Chain A
C-alpha cells in the first residue's frame, strides 16, 4: 500500500445549471472550499491531479490547461485523468498513488463538468469506435439500459417486482437529495411518478436516470506524516483501492455478474481487511446513474448474493436507517457532473466517516465504500475509507 494516505479536506459546489459562473470559476469554488475545510492554502500543495469527461463535453480541449489558475496549480506538476464515468474515482486513486508512492505529502485532486455547455449524449456517443459500435451504443442511456435489461432478466425475477424495487430506489435517492446542500435535483416524487414517467430507453424511464449537471469537487490528500505534522483532527484514511478494466468491445464481457466491478471490490476489500462487506461497511456511495444498476452493484460488491438485490431494497437494508445505507447524498441519480461525480462519492464517504455530513449524516459511520464506473461500461473503481487506519 505504500505510505498511508488520508483525505484531509473536501470541497463541493452546489450543482445544477450553473450559468452564473464560467468553467474555471466553478472549479475555483470547489477548490477554495477544500482549502477552507483543510485550513491550507494553495502554496502548501505539492502536486495537482485533475480530470473530466471527453473535452467535447465543454468544447475546450485539454481543459486542465484552462483550469490551471482555478486550481492554484501554477509552478506544480499537473496531470489530467479521463476514464469517462469513472473519472472521479480514477482521480481519487491517482491522488492516492501520488501520496502513497512517497513522492508527495500533500496533493490536490479536482474533478469537474459543465454539462449544460455542450451536448452530453452527443459527446458520449462518440466514445465508441467509429467502425462497429458507435451507431448502436447510444450515449449513456443506451449502454446502461442494455445492461439493466439483461440484469433484470438474468435471475428469472418477476418483472413488476424488479420495477418496483427500482422505483423505491429512485424515491429514496430523491428524498436524500433534498437534504444534501450540493445536490442538483430537489423534487419530492412518489413511486407512481417513477413507474409512470416517460420511457427514455425501455425498460428504463426518466426517473430511473440521472440528470446532466454542472458541478465541481475537490479533495486534499495528505501522507500520514503530514497528517501528524498538521495535527489534523479528523482525517479520513484510505484503507483500500481497487480498479479494474475490461475489453473494448461491449459484447465481449458479462455485464451482469460484472467482472470489473467484482474484481475492483475484491481488491479493495483485501487491502482494507474486509471479509464481510455487508457487516463491516457502515455506508456506501455506490455510483448509481441508473436505478437498476445500483442493484446490480449490490450483487457485484458482495452486499448480497447474485439475484438477491431486490431483497436489500424491500427489507430496507440499503435505505436510511437500514443496516447498510447506500447513497445518503442522493447519489449520482440526483446529481451528475460526470468528471466530478466519482470524486463526490469519495468526498461524501470521507464526510460520513468523519461525522461531517451534516443533515444526511449516517449516525456512527466509521467505514464506507466509494465507487464509480465508466468507460464504455468497461471500468470500475472502489475506495474504502475509514476514520482510523
Chain B
C-alpha cells in the first residue's frame, strides 16, 4: 500500500506518588543535618549507600546505621552536553560516581564548582581518582538534591 502516511500527535502526562519506606525516609532526614548515612550488612560487612533495609548480596535485613565521610574519590565522570525531557538542569553539567570514604557503594551525583566552557580544560581539573567533597544546599528539604554537587578538592 503506497500513499501518504499521516502523523497523529499526542501527549501522556501521569502523576505518581512514590512511597520511600522508613529507611530511605531516615536517609534523607539525615541530609537535613548534612549527614550521609549508610547501613552496614552484618553478614558481608559492606556499608551500603544509599541506606538500605536489606543487603543486595546477602539478602538479609539490615538495621545498623553508619555515618560515612563527606569526602571521597571520583571513580568516574562525564560531562552531559545534550538535552532530554525531564532533565534536572541545563546542560552542560558534570555527573560522576563518588566512592565516599567509609562506604562500599559508589554514589551517582553532580560534580561541580568548576568552569565548564572547555571540556579539555575540565578534564584536567576533574580527575578520575581525584578527591571530591560534598557541597550542601542552604535550604535542605530531605532529598538527593540537598547535596548541590561534589567539588574537586585540590
Would you list which residues of chain A between 198 and 244 have a CB under 8 Å from chain B?
Answer: 198-204
The interface on chain A, measured as residues whose beta carbon lies within 8 A of the other chain's beta carbons, has a size of 42
- Do residues A247 and B56 form an inter-chain contact, with CB atoms below 8 A? yes
A146–B74 alpha-carbon span in the complex (Å): 11
User: Does B128 make an interface contact (CB < 8 A)?
Assistant: yes
Chain B residues with CB under 8 Å of A198's CB are: 81
Residue of A nearest to B95 (CB): A136
A318–B76 alpha-carbon span in the complex (Å): 27
A249–B151 alpha-carbon span in the complex (Å): 22
- Do residues A142 and B88 form an inter-chain contact, with CB atoms below 8 A? no
A119–B18 alpha-carbon span in the complex (Å): 23
Q: A122-B84, A141-B80, A251-B108 are in contact. List 4 more A-B contacts (CB 8 A).
A: A59-B10, A146-B96, A201-B80, A252-B56
- Do residues B96 and A131 form an inter-chain contact, with CB atoms below 8 A? no
Chain A residues with CB under 8 Å of B136's CB are: none
Query: Interface on B for A, CB 8 Å cutoff?
Result: 5, 7, 10, 12, 16, 18, 20, 24, 28, 50, 56-57, 75-82, 84-88, 95-99, 105-110, 119, 122-123, 128-129, 143-145
Chain A residues with CB under 8 Å of B105's CB are: 249, 251-252
A109–B144 alpha-carbon span in the complex (Å): 41
In the A-B complex, the 7 residue pairs with the smallest Cβ-Cβ separation, listed nearest first, are A251-B106, A122-B85, A121-B84, A145-B78, A150-B76, A202-B79, A135-B88
- Do residues B84 and A201 form an inter-chain contact, with CB atoms below 8 A? no
A21–B3 alpha-carbon span in the complex (Å): 10
Query: Interface on A for B, CB 8 Å cutoff?
Result: 19-22, 56, 59, 119, 121-122, 125-126, 130-133, 135-139, 141-142, 145-150, 153, 198-204, 247-252
Chain B residues with CB under 8 Å of A125's CB are: 84-87
- Do residues B5 and A141 form an inter-chain contact, with CB atoms below 8 A? no
- Do residues A252 and B106 form an inter-chain contact, with CB atoms below 8 A? yes
- Do residues B77 and A201 form an inter-chain contact, with CB atoms below 8 A? no
- What is the CB-to-nearest-CB distance from A141 to chain B, in angstroms, rounded to a whole number? 6
Chain B residues with CB under 8 Å of A139's CB are: 84
- Do residues B78 and A204 form an inter-chain contact, with CB atoms below 8 A? yes
Instruction: Name which of B20, B77, B99 has the most chain A CB atoms within 10 A of its CB.
Output: B77
Instruction: Name which of B28, B106, B129, B145 has the most chain A CB atoms within 10 A of its CB.
Output: B106
A59–B88 alpha-carbon span in the complex (Å): 22
- What is the CB-to-nearest-CB distance from B76 to chain A, in angstroms, rounded to a whole number? 4
Chain A residues with CB under 8 Å of B122's CB are: 202
A21–B77 alpha-carbon span in the complex (Å): 40
Chain A residues with CB under 8 Å of B107's CB are: 251
A59–B13 alpha-carbon span in the complex (Å): 10
A121–B122 alpha-carbon span in the complex (Å): 25
Known: A137-B95, A249-B105. Contact between A142 and B87, CB under 8 A?
no
- Do residues B84 and A202 form an inter-chain contact, with CB atoms below 8 A? no
Residue of A nearest to B119 (CB): A202
Instruction: Name which of B7, B28, B57, B95 has the most chain A CB atoms within 10 A of its CB.
Output: B95
- What is the CB-to-nearest-CB distance from B92 to chain A, in angstroms, rounded to a whole number? 8
Chain B residues with CB under 8 Å of A142's CB are: 78, 80, 95
Residue of B nearest to A19 (CB): B5
Residue of B nearest to A250 (CB): B108
Chain B residues with CB under 8 Å of A248's CB are: 56
- Do residues A119 and B56 form an inter-chain contact, with CB atoms below 8 A? no
Residue of B nearest to A150 (CB): B76
- Do residues B77 and A138 form an inter-chain contact, with CB atoms below 8 A? no
- Do residues B78 and A202 form an inter-chain contact, with CB atoms below 8 A? yes
A250–B49 alpha-carbon span in the complex (Å): 11
Residue of A nearest to B57 (CB): A247
Instruction: Name which of B85, B87, B122, B143 has the most chain A CB atoms within 10 A of its CB.
Output: B85
- Do residues B5 and A150 form an inter-chain contact, with CB atoms below 8 A? no
Known: A122-B84, A251-B108. Contact between A203 and B78, CB under 8 A?
yes
Residue of B nearest to A126 (CB): B86
| From A21, A148, A149, A252, contact of B5 by CB (8 A) | A21
Instruction: Name which of A125, A126, A132, A148 has the most chain B CB atoms within 10 A of its CB.
Output: A132
Residue of B nearest to A144 (CB): B78
- Do residues B110 and A201 form an inter-chain contact, with CB atoms below 8 A? no
Chain A residues with CB under 8 Å of B80's CB are: 138, 141-142, 201
- Do residues B24 and A251 form an inter-chain contact, with CB atoms below 8 A? no
5 residue pairs of the A-B complex, CB under 8 angstroms, read A141-B80, A146-B78, A150-B128, A199-B79, A251-B99
A132–B108 alpha-carbon span in the complex (Å): 8
- Do residues A200 and B82 form an inter-chain contact, with CB atoms below 8 A? yes
Chain A residues with CB under 8 Å of B81's CB are: 198-202
Residue of B nearest to A200 (CB): B82
A150–B96 alpha-carbon span in the complex (Å): 10
| From B12, B78, B97, contact of A250 by CB (8 A) | B97
Chain B residues with CB under 8 Å of A132's CB are: 50, 108, 144
